Structure 1
């Protein structure tokens, strides 16, 4: 028997939450689909924006989702992924969450982007009680040390002590598969990423150093830092979906532009084609050039986890949709000299994923770059990257015992 649940959808515009539409999610065993309709008052607002420019353009009609994106892309972007779903499943025990609960049981202030959900227009955006025992999880306000302790217990399959159970909601509000949680540090909003206990590959410092190397190459990246908490590293990346006052900024992933949830599909060229449709003309050429640079950088650093949710776009008033700062840029250890290097996204002609600079150059005109210009961009990034990576990684504290593996990941394909 199908299970149907509905909620009002709110968006943060002009410094306040405003209702924008009504969402219904129908779940029949493993089959999920949704409907959405904008509110008439929202459509009359001069500052109204399409929350999903591809699947939910502004209009009065009732939208029905498709199998490739059963929750609609922009709605799905606000929901948790592997790590967050695991935490919510723990919070729901002995029950099992459905897609509606995964989406709506989360704290409003912590979720990605500028959408919220609620049962009533009067109450506004607020977590919807899923009816689980002990919901919402109670406990102490957690600092980074408490969060690390909670992550370790969860990784080991242990029960959390009562004071840590709040983490089951706090840590579940973001996308991605790795342990993370929103936090406030020095008055600003950050995402904290936690390394695993006794990991040989220092992910926190390597990701931080890689972003700093990307910045040196001219790629737009958020502020980031690493902190030592006890004897563990924590990687902090400043939230670019929040403004200086902490207000939410609309965000969509490249998955939303491609109207699919399949992380194994898509190419840089397909995303570039959608950027031409949805980024305003004065900015699109700059963003396309930046996107080409990110493709090249991912090849250079062997970031094979470059799937369609690891590229995003933010909405800026008066400017429209723009390419967001780069995020989740992490080198992957080399799989051996005989293994071909591939990215997750297609790089070259005909969707080839082969991670070579020649393959990237073959599609430079798609990004508005003549072949000679594309070659110049590639050569500049290659020179800055190869001449500077060791200095950058040493400066930001990457353990030297990781360097042989990093070097193999970075430069094997250039020999």
Structure 2
């Protein structure tokens, strides 16, 4: 792996089977600039309509967020686990990670990031990947977390696929399909994979659109939770944009409300059905105590015609947000959202109360079967009871 700082990065877009030039990113005087390729403007594909609209001439990034990088490109950068791995690799090479600009990091992402954007010139990772089973890789992730053992950095970095999120994960090919497999962080309960799989089953029963998922077997425990990547399909790749990138809001700060999420959904998709899906997801997050509902956990997918829809729901699991509250408040309430808050959110979506109550009841019905899903997934009795108590507390405030 050879690093050298750059001031120009070319951005391309995989559109069906074609590779289109989107434009150029430039770094000068600690500011980041972007200019669309005139030919791409003719496609009328709005990759980031709010913060990087499709128009000629140079646009300047906002230095107050994402180190000046435009949100649509910041979405490509790994954070959490992937960011940590790259920084450790740089330190191993004697390079100060602080010397890298966002453009340098995009070069490492290259063609491996989520979505349909690729960045050139790409920094190729020359690590040779040996065949390893998931238990071996899980052991490497734990040793790296506990002992800061750099012996496994190359292997873990090469398998990471520029994915985001705090938990260790790898990208693997299963029957010519790309899957994302998660491993336990040291702060996670030992049955975290089973819990997340149970939540996946519960969300599906509640009517949420979710990606295909399963528990990959382990010789040592309950298995590893994996999901099929929804940004990849047989003919190519799909453009993904998070609420964080769309609105230039940091997912590290609890400064988002579901009202903003709903209004963004309506404005971007112009489809009441997508607003209903977003409302159902909000209800599920509230009733199931999924409070890690930050700005990077809401995404939209753009098809080849430029039409936006909600992405499948992801990162659904029992979680407590900042100070035990939702990362995204529900009509201003983060600690104890009640039925009234959800009904006010439905009004924002111009949804009739009858329809909102129907969705709430459907989600309540699914969440009431938590113990069934937990048993199917292999959740421990201690975790099952702890989560059930939290669900019961929330349910008392949701009597319709």
Q: TM-score, normalised by structure 1?
A: 0.85
1:307-339 Cα shifts (integer Å, max 9, x gaps): 01001011112361110000001112699xxx9
Tell me, yes or no, if the aligned pair for 1:150 and 1:160 is still in contact at 8 Å. Answer: no
Alignment of 1:165-204 (within 5 A): 165-171=154-160, 173-196=162-185, 200-204=189-193
* Structure 2 residue matching 1:183: 3-state secondary structure: strand
Counterparts in 2 of 1:68 and 1:158: CA distance versus 1, 3 Å: closer
The reply to whether residue 68 of structure 1 matches residue 65 of structure 2 is: yes
Following superposition, the deviation at residue 200 of structure 1 comes to: 3.6
Unmatched 5+ stretches in structure 1: 120-126, 130-134
Q: State the distance in 1 between where 2:188 and 2:65 align.
A: 36
- In structure 2, relative to structure 1, the CA distance for the partners of 1:312 and 1:331 (3 Å cut) is same
2:237 maps to 248
User: Of the candidates 325, 337, 342, which is equivalent to residue 325 of structure 2?
Assistant: 342
Corresponding residue of 2:262: 272
- What SS is found at the alignment partner of 2:10? strand
In 2, the alpha carbon distance for the partners of 1:26 and 1:202 equals: 48
Say whether 1:15 aligns with 2:29. no
- Equivalent residues in 2 for 1:390-405, closer than 5 Å: 390-405=371-386
Q: Is the 8 A contact 1:251 1:315 kept in 2?
A: yes
- Map of 1:310 onto structure 2: 297
Match of 2:318 in 1: 331
On the 8 A contact 1:68/1:262 being kept in 2, the answer is no
**1:367 corresponds to which residue?**
349
How far 1:100 sits from its partner (Å)?
2.6
- Name the SS for the 1:166 alignment partner: helix
Distance 1:358 1:401 in 2: 32
Where does 1:113-192 land on structure 2 (aligned, <5 Å)? 113-119=115-121, 127-128=122-123, 136-161=126-151, 165-171=154-160, 173-192=162-181
Would you say the 8 A contact 2:195–2:379 is kept in 1? Answer: yes
What's 2:229 paired with? Answer: 239
Secondary structure of 1:153's aligned partner:
helix
Deviation track 1:177-206 (CA, whole Å, cap 9, x = no partner) reads 111121112321111101246954511111
> What per-residue deviation string (whole Å, max 9, x for no partner) do you get for residues 23-46 of structure 1?
124585xxxx4211111122234x
* Structure 1: distance between partners of 2:84 and 2:148: 13
Could you say which structure has the greater relative contact order, defined with CA pairs below 8 angstroms and 6 or more residues apart?
A: 2
Q: CA deviation at 1:361?
A: 1.5
Secondary structure in structure 2 of the residue aligned to 1:332 = coil
Structure 2 residue aligned with 1:123: none
Are residues 68 and 89 of structure 1, via their aligned partners in 2, closer, same or farther at CA, if it must alter by over 3 Å?
closer
CA gap of 1:84–1:396, structure 2 versus 1, over 3 A, is: same
Structure 1 residues 83-94: aligned runs within 5 Å: 83-93=81-91, 94=94
Gaps of 5+ in 2: none
Aligned twin of 1:296 = 283
1-structure distance, mates of 2:291, 2:187: 23
Is the CA contact 2:265–2:278 (under 8 Å) kept in the aligned structure 1? Answer: no
Aligned to 1:106: 109
Name which of 246, 249, 262 aligns with 1:260: 249
Change (3 A) 1:25 1:182: farther
CA separation of 1:254/1:82 partners in 2, compared to 1, >3 Å: closer, same or farther?
same
| Aligned 8 A contact 1:5 1:26 in 2 | yes
TM-score, normalization: structure 2?
0.88
- How many residue pairs end up in the alignment? 382
Alignment RMSD = 2.4
